[in-house]
Amino acid sequence: MTKQEKVKFVINTLYKLYPEIPIPLDHHDAYTLLIAVLLSAQCTDVRVNKITPLLFAEADNPYDMVKLSVDEIKNIIKPCGLSPMKSKGIYGLSKILIEKHDGKVPQSFEALEALPAVGHKTASVVMSQAFGVPAFPVDTHIHRLMYRWNLTNGKNVAQTEKDAKRLFPKELWNDLHLQIIWYGREYSPARGWDLEKDIITKTVGRKTVINNYYR
């Protein structure tokens, strides 16, 4: 298969499997999405979705969040891990949103990435899911699958993002990054991987991945 044929097969398979695409992190606006994505660093979405209702019951907007202390935030979000860094980030970005953005989440990559504890991936998720701006956030699932599918060299997530944006149509980015995440969790996990169930990798995957697969 040519690379374009592989890309077409990936797109068609994902849309057949996920015609309706669930959003992994529970939220009700751009601010709660931003906080949820920040909390998801090195933490499962399932755990984040258990913790955010507790946090948002206390503060689901920047004005209420800065009324809490960093320690109070840290105690609530502790099960998500990295709580000292994340709590400072949540408090700090909430304060900046009030001071510089009228309490609203900015709609630009530059402004988002200037916020404490907000990196490019977090900004990309917010721009994509909250504002509908084409973006291709790369998490561990996408990084792993793009390599397995021989669509990137797998050197780093920045290169994987560039390759994904180059190969996939821009109008599909917001759907595809979510579809790939769900596919990775259900059919092509890092552990307990069954190649027979992973139709995309079995069809388009790089030979070294398939040949080195052990049941």
pLDDT per residue over 171-180, tens digit each? 999 999 999 9
pLDDT value of position 113: 98
Which pLDDT belongs to residue 210? 83
The whole-angstrom separation of Cα 104 and Cα 178 is 25
122 and 153 fall within a common domain? no
1, 127, 128, 172, 197 from 121: Cα distances, Å: 31, 10, 10, 17, 29
42: region left, alpha or beta (phi > 0 left; psi from -120 to 50 alpha): left
Q: Are 44 and 62 contained in the same domain?
A: yes
What are the pLDDT digits (tens) for 40-53?
A: 999 999 999 999 99
Residues of the chain with pLDDT under 70: 214-215
Catalytic residue among 6, 74, 86, 121: 121
Contact at 8 Å (CB) between 13 and 179? no
- Does one domain contain both 145 and 111? no
Domain end call among 88, 108, 129? 129
Let me know whether 102 and 186 are in one domain: no
Domain that holds residue 207: 3-21+136-211
Does 207 qualify as catalytic in the annotation? no
Q: What is the pLDDT of residue 97?
A: 98
For 91, the 3-state DSSP assignment is: helix
Nearest CA-CA partner of 82 in 121, 27, 90: 90
58 and 99, same domain (yes or no): yes
Q: Could you confirm whether 155 is annotated as catalytic?
A: no
Claim to verify: residue 9 and residue 70 sit in the same structural domain = no
Both tokens of 105, joined, read 């989440």
Catalytic residue among 139, 162, 175, 202, which? 139
Predicted pLDDT of residue 215:
55
**Cα–Cα distance measured from residue 209 to residue 198, given in angstroms and rounded to the nearest whole number:** 12
Query: Is the same domain home to 73 and 8?
Result: no
Domain total in the chain? 2
Same structural domain, 64 and 34: yes
Contact 188, 198 (CB under 8 A): yes
